[in-house]
Structure 1
Amino acid sequence: MRRRTLLLSMSAAAAGGLAVKAGQASAAERTVLSSVKNSTLVARTVTPYVPQAGQSPGAVRTVARHNFSFARDGRALPTEVWYPVGPGPYPVVLFSHGLHAQPDDYAELLAGWALAGFVVAAPRYPHTATGTSRFNAYDLVNQPEDASEVLTQIVARNTSGSGPLRGRLDTARLAAAGHSGGGITTAGLFSAHRDQRLKAGILVSGTDFLGTPFTGPPAAMLMVHGRQDTSVRYDAARTVYEAIPWSRAMLSVTEGGHQISGAPLTTVSAAFLRWSLYGGRPGLEAAAAQGSVATLDNELAAAALSAGSTS
């Protein structure tokens, strides 16, 4: 394990907070938010994840955006896709927004990933997005299945229709990421609703999903969390991190709150995605060495070494 000092700039935006009223929600529904204070997951030893070796696509100068109208069982899932302007094929990252948020709130991060050579699909969830007429924080319980359906629809566009994604996707290299409630959604994709197509996950200011342990084949996981987060306590996130049973890393922002953004986050997460989907050297420490003050826990090295490379 290695630690290094770095700086992550903090956004002043309020989107994605988890302060909600219980209202008439059942105990079962409230469970999806119970782990924002304390997670019940148990620490587990690391089983190395070994990436599928390949040549990752390079950075591009231009990205484009396209909107898709997806749905699952009557749940509308309009999805914004940022994609590199180039021949590809490019890996896919499914991104989930936080409560009272929307994909555009994360445009800087998502466009940054697209510039780095990733297709990013960001659905707008029907009952947790900003401006929805029927907001319900506990609808998070349905979002992992929504996310998997969106991923299925995006992958299908590689071989169907005449849209901008046709023939440009590397459908064997898929990842998921999310912030706040979207981080909980992402955790669900690696636990209660495991999507075995996913090779990597990123939880920004997130926690576990329904207290369900991570399961399925090994995957690489990155957590990013502010030590001063009052929406999802750092101690809860730390418990989740230690319960990840596969190759893992965690950026702990010393003065960070619930909102985290800026170039360091983009470059660190892009380096993580590039390694987890294509192998080589993880490179997180080099990407993270932009100023101060945070720590990097890096337990990706074991997998890198088992694959014949160094961290």
Structure 2
Amino acid sequence: MGAGRLIAVAVTALLAGCAPATAVAGEATGPVSARRAPEGSYAVGVRTLTLDPRSARPLPVTIWYPASPAGVTAGRFPVVIYSHGLDSRPGLHAGLASRWAAAGFVVAAPAFPHTRRGAARFTRADVRNQPADCWRLIRHLTRLDADPGDPLAGHLDLASIAAAGHSAGGFTTAGMFTEGHQARLRAGIVIAGGGLPGSFAGPAAPLLFVHGTADPVVPVAVGRAAYRRTPGPAAFLSLLGQDHGEYLVPDSPGFAPVLATTTDFLRWTLYGDDAAGARLPADAHTPALTHYESRPAL
């Protein structure tokens, strides 16, 4: 068996069995109301909290949000749930997450109990439980938004949520898009990841795949196979000759097109900003570095 095939089989077997999420009564299911995404750039605040600290599965979370001198900037902002990869942590993805927050999104990134860097009992098999952790975080954010004593109260647009993640976090993201997933999960960004058995079902949602063509950890063929399985609108951004994540480092050549493409994708899917959607092919056009395709044309 070739190395690429071996990795694909191992990852699929590892991540099989993610339980589907169930819909919540009264959740918003209609289309996003078209509006222009914020222009310019916000200051960014950072907050940390821990879900269920006394449970068997405590979940530390880092939140980046549009900030003002008084705290959170006035208004409601769509939410992005960002999942890290194996032996990683939210802070290592601050370059991307903080810039999304500056563009007008609240980014909430859990540190998963058994796959984060420094975990006392590290096990990659626990990735199958991480989609449920993300849904637990969404439920917690719903409570915070309704709590008049919390700084985030009234600032979270929880009818417009996207999931995103890198590597094992990309598989975690795919694992949220199963049969019966909540319709308020309106978009996904899978970075150097792939699909799971049962993924890409339920309410159709646009998906963006980002992958280095020289990725030695999760071969690009794994991401492309997931892209072909998506039933709704999907796009694939290839980073030519790039590895498993060098394009996520702000000083790297690939970072600018990845940032521009992912940010406009979020503006389009969560704000309903059609002008941002129309910019996607140009965002990703960097000769000799990127290749962009979509199905249908985005």
Q: Which amino acid aligns with 2:280?
A: L
Matched, 1:141 2:122: no
Asked whether the 8 Å contact 2:168–2:193 carries over to 1, the reply is yes
Q: Percent identity?
A: 37
Write the mapping of 1:87-102 to structure 2, written as runs, cut at 5 A.
87-102=74-89
Asked whether the 8 Å contact 1:144–1:193 carries over to 2, the reply is no
3-state DSSP of counterpart to 2:108: strand
Structure 2: distance between partners of 1:230 and 1:33:
19
3-state DSSP of counterpart to 1:186: helix
Write the mapping of 1:164-203 to structure 2, written as runs, cut at 5 A.
164-191=151-178, 194-203=181-190
Question: Aligned to 1:296, which of 289, 292, 297?
Answer: 292
Q: Provide the TM-score with structure 2 as the length reference.
A: 0.81
Q: Provide the TM-score with structure 1 as the length reference.
A: 0.78
The structural deviation recorded for 1:298 is 2.2
Give the corresponding residue for 1:4.
Answer: none
Query: Aligned pair in 2 of structure 1 residues 132, 213: CA closer, same or farther (>3 Å)?
Result: closer
* Cα root mean square deviation, aligned: 2.4
Q: 1:82-112 deviations in whole A, cap 9, x for unaligned?
A: 0001212110000000000000000100001
Query: Aligned pair in 2 of structure 1 residues 227, 74: CA closer, same or farther (>3 Å)?
Result: same
Give the corresponding residue for 1:61.
Answer: 42
Unaligned stretches of 5+ residues in structure 1: 1-20, 22-26, 35-48, 302-310
Larger CA deviation: 219-228 vs 278-287:
278-287
**Structure number having the greater helix percentage:** 2
Q: Which amino acid aligns with 1:80?
A: T
Q: How many residue pairs end up in the alignment? A: 262
Q: Which amino acid aligns with 2:295?
A: E
Give the corresponding residue for 1:5.
Answer: none
Misfit runs of 4+, over 6 Å: 27-30
Asked whether the 8 Å contact 1:56–1:274 carries over to 2, the reply is yes
Asked whether the 8 Å contact 1:57–1:89 carries over to 2, the reply is no
Give the corresponding residue for 1:44.
Answer: none
3-state DSSP of counterpart to 1:200: strand
Bigger relative CO (Cα 8 Å, ≥ 6 apart): 1
Give the corresponding residue for 1:265.
Answer: 258
Write the mapping of 1:217-236 to structure 2, written as runs, cut at 5 A.
217-236=203-222
Q: 1:179-212 deviations in whole A, cap 9, x for unaligned?
A: 0000000000002673432000000000112x22
Give the corresponding residue for 2:3.
Answer: none
Write the mapping of 1:71-90 to structure 2, written as runs, cut at 5 A.
71=52, 74-85=56-67, 86-90=73-77
